[in-house]
Structure 1
Amino acid sequence: MTLIQGKIRIIGGQWRSRLLTFPEHPDLRPTSDRIRETVFNWLEQDLSGLRCLDLFAGSGALGFEAASRGAAQVVMVDNDARVYKALKENKEKLQAMQVELLLMNALSFMKSDARKFDVIFLDPPYRLDLLPGLMPLLPPHLEQNGLVYSESRGIWNLDEQWKIHRGAKAGTVRYQLLELAHYG
């Protein structure tokens, strides 16, 4: 069996124009250049010193983009061994020492890891409808004034603890930066 690989380009920062490769997988749909450009504009381009979590890393587009733009630490979590292998190869190719890769289930990570992050990228496989169950797990992992990027197909209802900081739509993809309505 031949492994078909996809490619996506980093669009900004120190690794601008570098290509990332990733395996063909039915749940893997990298965030488009246009959406990434918008999201990183919302995040003010420079993520110097920030800690980021890419919870469903997939192609690595969001996590490596954050690292390229100066994030001090990027934790990338994925539970697929082939995807993890590709992430590891991309990390080595870029010499991305600030990137930590974890081969594990996203829910298990959220329940077992106590770290806090400034930005959490949340782009799970659409077919699994994981966002409603994941959102309540995020607040203990979010730094004061931290943001959550979420991407979904269509509309889903946020509970009252979240408010939309910025949001947009591209085709059927709805993407937004969320913040906690109240920090406790």
Structure 2
Amino acid sequence: MAKNTSAQSRSGAAKTAGRPGQVRIIGGQWRSRKLPIQDLEGLRPTTDRVRETLFNWLMGELTGARVLDCFGGSGALALEALSRYAAYARIFELQNGAAQQLKTNLASLKCTQAEVFQGDTLQWLARGTDQGFDIIFIDPPFRKGLAQQCLDALVTNGWLNPGALVYLETESELGAPAVPPHWQELKHKQAGQVSYRLYRCGEPL
């Protein structure tokens, strides 16, 4: 996702493997497919190394899951989940150019079980949803305070199914976010400037 001052695109120093302007799917039905991404300032797809770790964590959880990618950017996380047989993915992306590229890439994959919603993530989350999600990806732009706001909005507005898994990727210096007491941190790793965690949402105490 590209850098933006309001609410959305991923920014930071991490770079994806491979040459600029592409993202590579690393597993599943579309394994090794390379897809174009917008050449936008601050675009920071989750690296291949981190994605491989994340999807090892999610092994056995993806088939048939409803996935929400809160900060779509290149679409690397949502596309990886769909490649591994998630049932549906909803992707929020602030920048129009990146959103249109996501739609084009989904069409090239002949993927019909995903939707891209262009606009501010926090505004979309404030609207709530009629049907919750099983796996949520939160990889916001760094140093804008969006991670905590996104977590709070997900809880407040009913986006999380019981037992949902929430992946959070933030700058390392940020420290652990404030999550509800009934959430369990399953995994936590750090790769350079990036800290990433996986939570399981339990029932309220």
Same fold (TM over 0.5): yes
Say whether residues 1:91 and 2:106 are aligned partners. Answer: yes
Separation in 1 of the partners of 2:32 and 2:168?
Answer: 24
Residue 139 (structure 2) aligns with: 123
Corresponding letter in the other structure for 2:102:
L
Corresponding letter in the other structure for 1:76:
I
Deviation at 1:59, TM superposition (A): 0.2
Residue 166 (structure 1) aligns with: 187
User: Where do 5+ consecutive residues of structure 1 fail to align?
Assistant: none
Identical residues among aligned pairs (%): 39
Written as runs of structure 1 = structure 2, the 5 A alignment for 1:121-160 is 121-139=137-155, 140-154=158-172, 155-160=174-179
List per-residue Cα deviations over 1:90-111 (Å, max 9, x = no partner).
0111011111111121001111
Corresponding letter in the other structure for 2:82:
A
Say whether residues 1:175 and 2:196 are aligned partners. Answer: yes
Separation in 2 of the partners of 1:39 and 1:126?
Answer: 19
Separation in 1 of the partners of 2:160 and 2:42?
Answer: 26
Deviation at 1:181, TM superposition (A): 5.3
Corresponding letter in the other structure for 1:133:
Q
- Between Structure 1 and Structure 2, the one with more strand by share is 1
Q: Greater relative contact order (Cα 8 A, min sep 6): structure 1 or 2?
A: 2
Between Structure 1 and Structure 2, how many residues are aligned? 180
Q: Alpha carbons of 1:55 and 1:84: their partners in 2 closer, same or farther (altered >3 Å)?
A: same
What RMSD in Å do the two structures reach over aligned CA positions? 1.6
Written as runs of structure 1 = structure 2, the 5 A alignment for 1:11-90 is 11-44=26-59, 47-90=62-105
Q: Which residue of 2, 21, 30 corresponds with 1:6?
A: 21
